[in-house]
């Protein structure tokens, strides 16, 4: 992990650049996968399962027997933890529901706005180096709360053709019944085009590797929506001498272990504190089972000493981290100045891990700087807003002439006539 002392913002931008993927090379692999799944459906999915997951599948769907067996194999301790996390996530996401908006903007002109669920959604759950059963909660709960009519979960099988039992337990707990043994870009293709087994959906959610990410971005041209562009996981910690170095080191490592292309950043006003954190990182790293992954991620990562708070905040907003931990003495002042972040964790006793699992907020967040213009997944991600308007005869008499003037000046005379013909009829009634 490199150490920069009082660098310029321009130097920081260069040194904090995210790892770049070779998009053309990745798309060259992904595009044929999309074409083959579109053309051959389940046959292509089973072939890719053999090629990429090294497993022969007779059926792509998880059976009720498999779900029941999985439920039996999950420990009581994990079941209790998942159930508590479910409760917190449900409570926070249910509170996000907005009532129907009704406003009479002028006499006789009533406008409304109402949330309607996206009817068919696909949830992609990674199952590679870390089976993310927590992501089932983060995506499945708001989908259920929103009232989505059909929820399809795709996740890759292991070499025995099985799905991690915690993923199946969690899916069953929140009522997801259609679970498909398919991963990678081929899963995104199946959700986009539909196959004999996999229903076509309207919107696709979920994190994934670079091939999944590329596939999600490519399929948007076929009329399916996605939650957000995504990249490797990342965290930025802004901490001063009031923070505990061991806590900061643990938070940085918790993101570094996600993958070799993850990125972690420390920003601090104190070089002495930065060195304490780096020492802690080296000590804690040795005890991690995924230390090789974390070590490689740390090679893409930076500790920045920035003495001026104003410059530090400017750096944070420029970087726009997926996760932002603020552990400084004047935390509220700093929090109020943050413009770009996926999710913010405040204080010494708020580890980013809490948001990843069970605090109640969603862990599906914009990465790669997209926090400048995207929100994380929420209840709103699973609904669309429809607007309505109703105009009374008296309301049209007031509003109509305004519309006529505007339409005429845009040279859209049919638009004007749609109003004029009604106003003339109302005048005729008056006679």
Question: Which letter, b or e, does each residue of 190-222 get, where b requires 16 or more Cβ atoms within 10 Å of its Cβ?
Answer: bbbbbbebbebbbbbbbbbbbbbbbbbbbbeee
**Coil vs helix vs strand at 338:** coil
Distance (Å, rounded) from C-alpha 186 to C-alpha 38? 10
Q: Considering 280, 322, 331, 404, which one is annotated as catalytic?
A: 322
Q: Going edge to edge, which strands form the sheet with 203-205?
A: 178-181, 150-155, 120-124, 203-205, 225-226
Distance (Å, rounded) from C-alpha 87 to C-alpha 79? 12
Is the Cβ–Cβ distance between 136 and 176 less than 8 Å?
yes
Helix (H) or strand (E) holding 5: strand 2-5
Q: Which residues are annotated as a binding site for Zn(2+)?
A: 255, 258, 356, 415
Quote the DSSP letter at residue 243: S
Q: Considering 93, 164, 257, 323, which one is annotated as catalytic?
A: 323
With helix as H, strand as E and coil as C, how does 133-172 read?
Answer: HHHHHHHHHHHHHHCCCEEEEEECCCCCCCCCHHHHHHHH
- Region of 62 (left: φ > 0; alpha: ψ -120 to 50; beta: rest) is beta
Quote the DSSP letter at residue 61: B
Q: Distance between alpha carbon 113 and the CA centroid of its chain, in Å?
A: 25
Active site (annotated) includes residue 196: no
Distance (Å, rounded) from C-alpha 14 to C-alpha 131? 33
Residue in the block written with tokens 């009232």 = 147
Q: Which residues are annotated as a binding site for substrate?
A: 233, 255, 258, 323, 356, 410, 415
Residue in the block written with tokens 């069970």 = 358
Q: Which residues are annotated as a binding site for NAD(+)?
A: 124, 186, 209
Beta strands 178-181 and 203-205 are unpaired
Active site (annotated) includes residue 323: yes
DSSP 155-221: E---TTS---HHHHHHHHHTT--EEEE--HHHHHHHHHH--SSSPP-SEEE----HHHHHHHHHHGG
Q: Which residues are annotated as a binding site?
A: 124, 186, 209, 233, 255, 258, 323, 356, 410, 415
Residues recognised as catalytic: 322-323
């Amino acid at each position: 992990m490199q150490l920069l002392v009082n660098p310029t913002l321009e130097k920081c931008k260069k040194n904090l650049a995210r790892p770049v993927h070779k998009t053309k090379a990745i798309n060259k692999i992904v595009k044929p996968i999309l074409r083959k799944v579109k053309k051959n459906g389940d046959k292509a999915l089973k072939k890719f399962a053999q090629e990429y997951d090294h497993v022969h599948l007779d059926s792509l769907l998880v059976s009720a027997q498999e779900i029941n067996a999985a439920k039996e194999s999950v420990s009581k301790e994990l079941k209790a933890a998942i159930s508590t996390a479910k409760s917190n996530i449900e409570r926070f996401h249910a509170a996000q529901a907005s009532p129907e908006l009704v406003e009479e903007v002028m006499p006789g002109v009533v406008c409304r706005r109402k949330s309607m669920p996206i009817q068919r959604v696909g949830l992609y759950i990674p199952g590679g180096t870390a089976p993310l059963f927590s992501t089932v909660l983060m995506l499945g709960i708001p989908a259920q709360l929103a009232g989505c009519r059909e929820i399809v979960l795709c996740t890759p099988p292991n070499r025995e053709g099985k799905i991690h039992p915690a993923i199946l337990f969690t899916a069953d707990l929140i009522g997801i019944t259609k679970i498909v043994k398919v991963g990678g870009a081929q899963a995104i293709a199946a959700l986009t085009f539909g196959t004999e087994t996999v229903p076509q959906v309207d919107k696709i959610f979920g994190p994934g590797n670079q091939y999944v990410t590329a596939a999600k971005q490519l399929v948007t041209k076929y009329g399916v929506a996605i939650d957000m562009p995504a990249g490797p996981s990342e965290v930025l910690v802004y901490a001063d001498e009031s923070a505990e170095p061991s806590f900061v080191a643990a938070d940085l490592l918790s993101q570094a272990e996600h993958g070799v292309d993850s990125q972690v950043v420390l920003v601090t006003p104190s070089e002495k504190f930065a060195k304490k954190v780096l020492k802690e990182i080296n000590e804690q790293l040795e005890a991690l089972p995924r230390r090789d992954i974390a070590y490689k991620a740390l090679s893409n990562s930076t500790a920045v000493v920035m003495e001026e708070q104003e410059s530090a905040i400017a750096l944070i907003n420029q970087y726009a981290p997926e996760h932002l931990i603020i552990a400084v003495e004047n935390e509220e002042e700093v929090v109020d100045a943050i413009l770009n972040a996926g999710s913010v964790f405040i204080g010494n006793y708020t580890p980013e891990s809490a948001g990843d699992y069970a605090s109640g907020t969603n862990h599906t967040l914009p990465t790669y700087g997209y926090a400048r213009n995207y929100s994380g997944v929420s209840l709103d991600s699973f609904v669309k807003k429809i607007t309505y308007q109703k105009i009374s005869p008296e309301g049209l008499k007031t509003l109509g002439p305004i519309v006529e003037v505007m339409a005429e000046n845009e040279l859209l005379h049919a638009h004007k006539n749609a109003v004029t013909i009604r106003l003339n009829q109302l005048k005729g009634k008056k006679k």
